[in-house]
Amino acid sequence: MTRVLIVGTGAMASAHAEAYAEMDGVEVVGGVDTNADNLAAFQAKHGVPEGFTSVAEALKWGSFDAASNVTPDAVHHRTTLPLLAARKHVLCEKPLATNQADATEMAAAAKAAGVVNMVNLTYRNVPALMHAAAMVSCGDIGAVRHFEAAYLQSWLTQPAWGDWRTEDQWLWRLSAGHGSMGVLGDVGVHILDYATFGAGSDAARVSCRLATFDKAPDNRIGDYTLDANDSMTMHLALHNGAIGVIHASRFASGHLNDLSLRLFGTKGGLDVRFEGRDSRLRACLGDNLQSGQWIDVETPAVETNFQRFVSAIRTGDPVQPSFAHGAGLQRVLDLAVLSDTNGARDQVV
């Protein structure tokens, strides 16, 4: 039996608990939250027997093998390090941390502890992306030369996911003072991983523009100063020589939660979509290049990040995306902020 502790019991914690509940030989044995009401509601909803107000309290109890860290971004670092010191396996929500120094420390601690460590970049669960990455790796589209990618959300223009003006679970994402890196850290990390993983190469250079728009009188609602970025555009050069653009926004009216990636190589192109929860891959290859015809590509189902995390615990094999990968992504995000501060000047990764 693999015993899991869930740290942080907000909205995303339910997704973790439900994923583990569907797996044989896995039990969520405890939850951690400083908010007693949230913790009690989480335990009742998912039948979690033990509850703790801190990671230290949970570690004193100690009867778990692994932890899912679903705390707010700014809390990842200080809640994960004690778990690693106790040699607990950790699946941490993205971004790994809110700055490269913290992320690098977490990656080093995980390596020293010799435990399974994984960042929950959820779109590694998308069959179209995983199959596209495999096709690129096999050389099906030749050398990648150009790419374009987008992550589009519209929750600042409509309340389909809830009213950000009144609900803390959304407001903190708009406030740097509450630990948010804005759209760059929240969904920019996803589309950065989506694009570079699909293209088969990490970033070598980056330039970026960030924008924060007026959303309330004096850009403040209660205790929340609304100063985190709402939209970002980024230019990337990859180590494999490809160049491309990625962008993300919470003002993308008409898109609830949609990702896209187009990859263009010397032998063909791929179009990777995850829109309306539908995963779709299209390709233009071989003789179809002459006519520009794109055809649908069948994509096999893939294991979820949760399944791969538990499997790695049981086999002892390394798993991706690791904390080291998360730290690499965080370096690009930090340089993106620096680039924006310096007038979108190019930064070497």
pLDDT for position 189: 95
Instruction: Tell me whether residue 310 is in a domain.
Output: no
* Residues 287-310 as b or e (16 or more Cβ within 10 Å = b): eeeeeeeeeebebeebebbbbbbb
- Residues with Cβ within 8 Å of residue 335, at least 6 apart in sequence: 206, 208, 347, 349
pLDDT for position 277: 87
Domain boundary among 122, 155, 190: 122
Q: Are residues 160 and 100 in the same domain?
A: no
CA distance 42 to 54: 15
- Whether pLDDT at 263 is above 90: yes
Q: Are residues 112 and 136 in the same domain?
A: no
Instruction: Tell me whether residue 178 is in a domain.
Output: yes
Q: Please write the tens of the pLDDT for every residue from 243-256.
A: 999 999 999 999 99
Averaged pLDDT of the chain: 96
Query: How distant, in Å, are the alpha carbons of 9, 155, 251 from that of 255?
Result: 27, 9, 9
Q: Please write the tens of the pLDDT for every residue from 22-68.
A: 999 999 999 999 999 999 999 999 999 999 999 999 999 999 999 99
Query: DSSP state, 192?
Result: H
How far separated are the first and last CA of the chain, in Å rounded? 42
CATH of the domain at 51: 3.40.50.720
Domain boundary among 73, 94, 122: 122
> Dihedrals φ, ψ of 39, to 5°?
-65, -45
User: What angle, rounded to 10 degrees, do the helices at 323-341 and 189-199 form?
Assistant: 110
Q: Are residues 246 and 289 in the same domain?
A: yes
Q: Please write the tens of the pLDDT for every residue from 199-211.
A: 999 999 999 999 9
pLDDT for position 37: 94
Structure-token pair, residue 168: 């803390």
pLDDT for position 168: 83
- Whether pLDDT at 10 is above 90: no
- Residues with Cβ within 8 Å of residue 181, at least 6 apart in sequence: 73, 95, 98, 188, 228, 229, 333, 337
Smallest CA-to-CA distance from 49 within 76, 66, 30, 32 is with 30
CA distance 276 to 282: 17
Q: Are residues 106 and 137 in the same domain?
A: no
Query: Span 284-296, mean pLDDT?
Result: 97
CA distance 20 to 136: 31
CA distance 79 to 56: 9
Q: Are residues 65 and 90 in the same domain?
A: yes
Instruction: Tell me whether residue 314 is in a domain.
Output: no
pLDDT for position 240: 97
Number of domains making up the chain: 2
pLDDT for position 300: 95
- Whether pLDDT at 298 is above 90: yes
- Whether pLDDT at 145 is above 90: yes
CA distance 295 to 51: 51
Query: Span 276-300, mean pLDDT?
Result: 96
Instruction: Tell me whether residue 278 is in a domain.
Output: yes
Q: Please list the residues that pair with 117 across neighbouring strands.
A: 90
Q: How confident is the model at residue 233 (pLDDT cuts 50, 70, 90)?
A: very high
> What percentage of the chain carries pLDDT values higher than 90?
94
Amino acid letter at 322? S
pLDDT for position 169: 81
- Whether pLDDT at 294 is above 90: yes
pLDDT for position 28: 98
Owning domain of residue 89:
2-122
**Cβ–Cβ contacts within 10 Å for residue 191, how many?**
24
Q: How confident is the model at residue 231 (pLDDT cuts 50, 70, 90)?
A: very high
Q: How confident is the model at residue 179 (pLDDT cuts 50, 70, 90)?
A: confident
Domain boundary among 92, 122, 152: 122
Query: Span 174-201, mean pLDDT?
Result: 94
Query: Span 105-118, mean pLDDT?
Result: 98
- Whether pLDDT at 322 is above 90: yes
Q: Please write the tens of the pLDDT for every residue from 163-177.
A: 999 988 889 899 999
